[in-house]
Structure 1
């Protein structure tokens, strides 16, 4: 077989055809036969071996890995990812399932994360290390900070899985998420085939969990979001899989959740969460929680001290429209919450619409807490879970038709007022912008940051200014105080304020943290009841308080 130079574009076409054949196969045995035939006979593009560059920083191994010493003689799965990407987060359970099926200590299969950053902030090894801990990644990860391997191989998007044979040649490619069954099928067939011809060396891998640099023993572990409630604060203690209720000084009053990662309803001590993010207090003495990695919305009743699930099945959904009732409706990675009123509700009426930043499908959803109307869509019963805006395409697309709008991983939301009308402000993380969704007419508009091209998700920076001339870097949180909108400009490690100026907004930096403690990827924020202060959830620090 003659090697010839190239990138993976030809392999991509081959794998598209292979996937189509697998869809037409009648049973598992036929699918296995198709894959094994590909493994035995594939003589397509042979990319010259691209080894890991010397000097790169590695995690979860005791030394740097090389193709010749560590990947040769085993099946390797290279996961090209960037830690901000929700799609990259979604495939981590697939990789964990593969490692359970083929434990790395057996020496047959090795998963290697190749971190190829999108944002400048993500090139920093300390930040990658924190993400490895936050997402419980145990396989080797290399910081390819200049994305040289990405470029040399011709990788086009995050996430991409490249499966190599024991000689280091690419055999399969999987782009995007939702490929668990095919990933396992490809690897299973490769293990069987290469075991039978003696190609697997089964040598040990120098695995070694990387010690994290953050202080241990903290009450909070990667807190994600923060909200107020009568008497204090609600904090999503994300890394500890629980919700904390504190006084305004941060002293803990109640703990909601056992701290065990899982999904169980029940009492405060028995209920469990999985990396919860957004929290919001309802006047009925209820807290709602965006239970992100359970793909669910949970209801915390402070009167009965019970936790119940009001939306989501516990598994990631792919539905882009919704319309089912409560836990029957599957959803995907809800990241933040806020409360509003459905169309036609009086200003003094109780909020009856729970708004959801659905990061996993790049949309805004709503849950009706009581019967209500929505724009031109009609009337909905209590418990209905519904897409309100966003096509599901990952874009920065503004339009007067909410179902055609495009968001890019919306991660923070708040209700504010714009020129007298109620509006939802959105921290649209992957477009590095703040967007606005009218709750009066449904129009989606640009506020600050981002780009004019709806497909350009790389217009980021750290520039104070007006409208689109201002630049943010992966903002995760927004909070309204009067007509001012405060933003956690997360990857710039700053808090900024948006002030109305005619039909536009002007962005100004107000804080980078205290003199002693600087922000580090602040995620959520909320305003005190009197609007005099902001509370900020910073993943690596206790919650901050900033006076306005």
Structure 2
């Protein structure tokens, strides 16, 4: 077998040859010559996947030497936090649109984690659902295949021939046409040798196993100045929801199908929107995967694009007007005022180019006194290099996928959640100087200085923070997403501490929170609890955590917004209407798996309950009573929650909600997630009732 270094060198030589001309026949000839050598002199058989790895989007594990024999296989080495890995997903979709599995082409995602949190299959599964990945994905937490193939960065494509031989590799973004061209020539070449198989694969897409919920991977959240409206980027549904304080949906901006279209709220389309900010009756939206900024008029009920072309750009300086300026993966937005003005600037966390940009809402002189016309969009800070580099010159500083912004007007500072460097940075809005607050380390090139540790400055450690918000001018709160926590940073000492929630267990309360904002009037911290598909409310005074029920304004009700067909089985109560007189309610849950299914080890399967009164207000929950959520551990065990009820509560207590989130696998290590949400009527009676237990039996079948 050939030496891998020789193979990699020859692949680079082919790429160099193909850059010299666009002439199709010449390019095809060179690729075929390359394939000839790869089948003879430089034949290198790629090692097969390790056994016992966990697979997703398929019902059983795959093998290069068996299931994938006779296919042109594109291995996509990725990690789900990486913005560059997100950027190449449309390239893979384009390839899959041209060639199907029956045509002989298969894309396989090889997840090779950067962060510890990304090694857990349940979290990868959530990312697959969030990004709409429809090809097989294998979790290689030890990066075995990565090491064997000498992969050096994310993303990397490796093209494999029908006999398992190494054919070509592409590193980074921007290779769509090269990828499709090479696969096309290789497919034709090996068909001529009768080596291509039309066999199918045991595909079983994770998205087809979902229960629909009102929110689907919510990304960011913001509250209006008067506190009466809450906007949520319902990222997985490609829309923005505007809620009242009670959680009732007042407006739905965009549809559940992705797209790029301006117009009325019902006609407009977005693609994985993230950051949002209120500006009176306007809402500015970072439409991330459309690579643009949108403006929603909440009075006129229409959406227009104000920045971006709808196509990813690589401009790292900018200066063009609005929709003529290409941008790349804006992840968050914040408002600021120049020269004492209230709001004439929109700051943008440009995750795709690792920079901070600014859009001029009005003519303004800023920064440094430079004058710009309304509609101009350009870089404010960041060189564009993916680093953790600070300094007094904003153009020389660098970020690594900035994902969250908040402005402190009193200190004239912009605070940045810099996700890939696992740091919180401060940017002066007077001169653009960038400094580190917490996390990371001194070496600006080391993007692996992450962890979960309280401390001051560099001693503190975060893991992929996604959002920041101010509670007061000297206190910053961070959504530390991969540590599943919210943390506080004292801006006078740079001390970082975990916020202890008075009623929550030590873990598994939040699941990769992506957005936070603070309502100063009500002293409430809103949390977009992304992988739990919910909005949490943290009372800042008591540190009590609750869930905000998200309800449709036409009184459909929460239980009506959930698909009720339950393809994996049902949930049954011992009584249609539960009747109780005691001041203690005992809730028992028994999970029974069909043969061949079991809980996913270490995944955060959990359940919790809450109750509403006759007006729909939440008056009781499993978290507000100091007992936390019930963690699902073993199918042979009953889990138990006990609620001690106050007499005044029992008079109002009419409806009990039960939410379950279960991660489970089959014997082939194909894992999936299932959510259940059910509503149980409760009636309190004066006469004695011996049995005051509510018993739930959940059967999960392998359909």
TM-score normalised by the shorter chain: which range applies?
over 0.9
Q: Quick one: which of 526, 532, 550 aligns to 1:535?
A: 526
Query: By how many angstroms is 1:146 displaced?
Result: 1.1
Q: Would you say 1:80 and 2:71 are equivalent positions? A: no
- The residue aligned with 1:175 is 171
Asked whether the equivalents of residues 82 and 115 of structure 1 are also in contact (C-alpha less than 8 Å), the reply is yes
| Contact 2:2–2:43 (Cα < 8 Å) also in 1 | yes
In structure 2, which of residues 373, 379, 383 is the aligned counterpart of residue 381 of structure 1?
373
Report if the CA contact (8 A) 2:357-2:377 is conserved.
yes
Q: How big is the shift at 1:47? A: 4.0
- Report if the CA contact (8 A) 2:101-2:198 is conserved: no
* 2:605 equivalent in structure 1: none
1:483 maps to 474
Residues 273 and 291 of structure 1 are in contact (CA less than 8 Å); yes or no, is this contact kept in structure 2? Answer: yes
Alignment of structure 1 residues 83-102 onto 2, 5 Å: 83-102=80-99
1:185 to 160, 181, 186: 181
2:135 corresponds in structure 1 to: 139
Q: Superposition pairs for residues 109-508 of structure 1, below 5 Å?
A: 109-210=105-206, 216-229=211-224, 230=226, 231-283=228-280, 285-342=281-338, 345-346=339-340, 349-376=341-368, 378-416=370-408, 421-481=411-471, 482-501=473-492, 504-508=493-497
Structure 1 residues 447, 45: closer, same or farther in 2, change over 3 A?
farther
After TM superposition, the structure 1 stretch with the greater mean CA deviation from structure 2, 14-23 or 61-70, is: 14-23
Query: What per-residue deviation string (whole Å, max 9, x for no partner) do you get for residues 412-435 of structure 1?
Result: 010126xx6311110000001101
**1:328 and 1:246 mapped to 2: Cα distance?**
33
Which TM-score applies when normalising by structure 1?
A: 0.94
Give 1:201 shift: 2.5
SS in 2 for 1:24: coil
Decide whether the 8 Å contact of 1:82 with 1:117 is kept in 2. Answer: yes
Aligned partners of 2:312 and 2:433: how far apart in 1? 28
Over aligned residue pairs, what C-alpha RMSD do you find?
A: 1.7
The alpha carbon displacement at 1:151 in A equals 1.2
Name the counterpart of 2:60.
Answer: 63
CA contact (8 A) 2:45 2:164 kept: no
2:596 counterpart residue number = none
From the superposition, tell whether residues 371 and 194 of structure 1 become closer, same or farther in structure 2 (CA, over 3 Å). Answer: same
What residue is the counterpart of 1:4 in the other structure?
Answer: 2
Q: Tell whether 2:20 aligns with 1:24.
A: yes
CA distance in 2, matches of 1:335, 1:96: 22
Do residues 526 (structure 1) and 522 (structure 2) align?
no
Superposition deviation, residue 500 in structure 1: 2.5
- Which ranges of structure 2 fall in alignment gaps of 5 or more residues? 541-703
Q: CA separation of 1:125/1:426 partners in 2, compared to 1, >3 Å: closer, same or farther? A: same
CA distance in 2, matches of 1:518, 1:181: 44
Query: Once the 2 structures are TM-superposed, how far is the Cα of residue 273 of structure 1 from its aligned partner?
Result: 0.8
Preserved contact between residue 358 and residue 410 of structure 1 (Cα < 8 Å) = yes
Provide, for residues 337-396 of structure 1, a one-character-per-residue CA deviation record: whole Å limited to 9, x for no partner. 100023xx22xx330100000111111011000011222372110000101111111100
Task: Report if aligned partners of 2:334, 2:405 keep a CA contact under 8 Å in 1.
Answer: yes
- The number of equivalent residue pairs is 533
For 2:488 and 2:406, how far apart are their aligned partners in 1? 14
- Deviation for aligned residue 1:404: 1.2
- CA 1:145–1:175: 2 relative to 1, 3 Å: same
**Cα deviation digits, residues 49-102 of structure 1 (max 9, x gap):** 411111111111121111111222111110000011110011111001101111
| Structure (1 or 2) with the larger CA radius of gyration | 2
Q: Distance in 1 between matches of 2:205 and 2:192?
A: 32
1:13 Cα deviation after fit: 3.3
Q: Provide the secondary structure at the position in 2 that maps to 1:360.
A: coil
In structure 2, C-alpha distance between the alignment counterparts of 1:435 and 1:252, rounded to whole Å: 34
Task: Pick which of 515-524 and 534-543 moved more.
Answer: 515-524
Give the CA deviation at 1:247.
Answer: 1.2
Q: Aligned pair in 2 of structure 1 residues 211, 309: CA closer, same or farther (>3 Å)?
A: closer
Distance 2:171 2:503 in 1: 42
Deviation at 1:317, TM superposition (A): 0.7
Determine if contact 1:494/1:511 at 8 Å carries over to the other structure: no
Is residue 129–residue 207 contact of structure 2 (8 Å, CA) maintained in 1?
A: no
C-alpha distance in 2 between matches for 1:97 and 1:529: 46
Map of 1:515 onto structure 2: 504
Partner of 2:102: 105
Going from structure 1 to structure 2, the CA distance change for 1:87 and 1:514 (only over 3 Å counts) comes to farther
Report the CA distance shift for 1:53/1:217 in structure 2 as closer, same or farther (over 3 A): same
Q: Distance in 2 between matches of 1:44 and 1:432?
A: 45
C-alpha displacement of 1:126: 0.7
Q: Which secondary structure does the structure 1 equivalent of 2:12 belong to?
A: helix
Higher RCO structure, 1 or 2 (CA under 8 Å, sep 6+): 2
Structure 1 contact 399–444 (Cα < 8 Å) conserved: yes
Distance in 1 (alpha carbons) for counterparts of 2:347 and 2:152: 33
* 1:39 positional shift: 1.5
